[in-house]
Chains A and B, each alone.
Chain A
């Protein structure tokens, strides 16, 4: 294992040492990155819009409405998580989980979407959530403004495809993310869409050289799509507990393989 990854690394070093390739690659990336910035901006605008409605429902004490808005609101956040995570203070404020706090749900520091999710589903109430909701909206708006002035680092953009798969593989595939509402399949949708978008943007740069690689990646994305499709319900998805054990395994294998494959995307594009 260690030996083979070392061999892989020296092969990569060879690729990287041909400086011309790297140079050319980063020039070629200008357009995909500009396009990706538009994609992220659109998503964060949608996130602000949806969060505004979600927060209004929470503050009005409309539990059912807030529950209905929770999952769709998060999808645009999940799609752009690699960029949102560049601002770790905001990512913590918006999307951290009870596990991140020693007193878990009872911890006064526990903020954001999942704090509200806990109140809505576990307590069936919006009591005490008003300040949390206000803070969430403020953080989401802050995220929008920071993204607007961000120069997107190419390696973060291209690496983002793998990062999204790592997130799913490490802590989402088990249904830990939305543990009160069980709306995890919506988040998956956002994560996979976000990763696939990045692959689509760089596809023209590697289509010739990396045809086999792209074929494998596409096949795994397709597996994910067909699997998730089985659980579609209206505009969204049924709850995570309905996911069959077999399909969970299929998804897990696809995610792990996508994480493996997409982790080479940066190197393939000559990005250090």
Chain B
């Protein structure tokens, strides 16, 4: 492989930015062009559903890097530019209307929220993925009287948590009662369900949204629910439509090997990427900030032909109704869940998830330090080859 002189990074979220930073940290001296469809400087998404809504953070506090930092790192930042095509044979990517050559291409285009299927009044339904969405929602909530959140995943629960914190009556419309971080299994989803009820979230299941008006909505069974702000958090899909004719496998995210390579000199990182695990052979997408950072480290090394770095063991975190939840590893398929600190019935614990006596994951509930200590122990044991997570 000829030495890479120029890297084009498409998508200026955490994954794209962290890859660019890691390239420089590894001593890469060629050009780095960071292309982002949004007009803002790269910013941090997790606070969009938390500090921006609840604590009134200004948008500036979400920025991941200012122009000076990008400049000092020698990163050419092209905001407001959308990649629209890729030709791997000639190693060119189309930025807007112009084809640009690359030595290596890193794709970090993230996800777009799923929209509610066409119903009357759909234009009143908000989503939350971008800073502009967040600014608009924060503003709407300042004037809101009642809120409806659609969806049962983690983001829907975070939104309900935020709107209750703001004192707004909130209705959550979900498919079923299994709510919150489903990948953490029923021990956590049952708790999340209880939290919603304890915090007076009006919880409706088994119905869909039929129509939306300015101040009230109608569900599929005819129930009318008053709400002047309606937010849908019903999942998100990979931003790969621009790659439709590239020949890459983009069935559910960009298929990559265990170091993020999708095709020679083309890599994908972050939420848009579907990496194959060298251990299980299964390829899947991860939607978390920490795994995006982990992958960015690995891809920067892969682009430069460096040996595989030591893994950073990405974790997942969320905050629901003031509870800090942290998790690592595989939790959903666990056969047994036991508390190794605190008490599973109390509101502070660290739970260990095991399959056939082997630890596969850990969840911390309001016990961040003990959670970390359990991880440290697990990492030590892991180097001896006894546990995962």
Q: Do A and B come from one complex?
A: no
A residues bordering B, Cβ < 8 Å? none
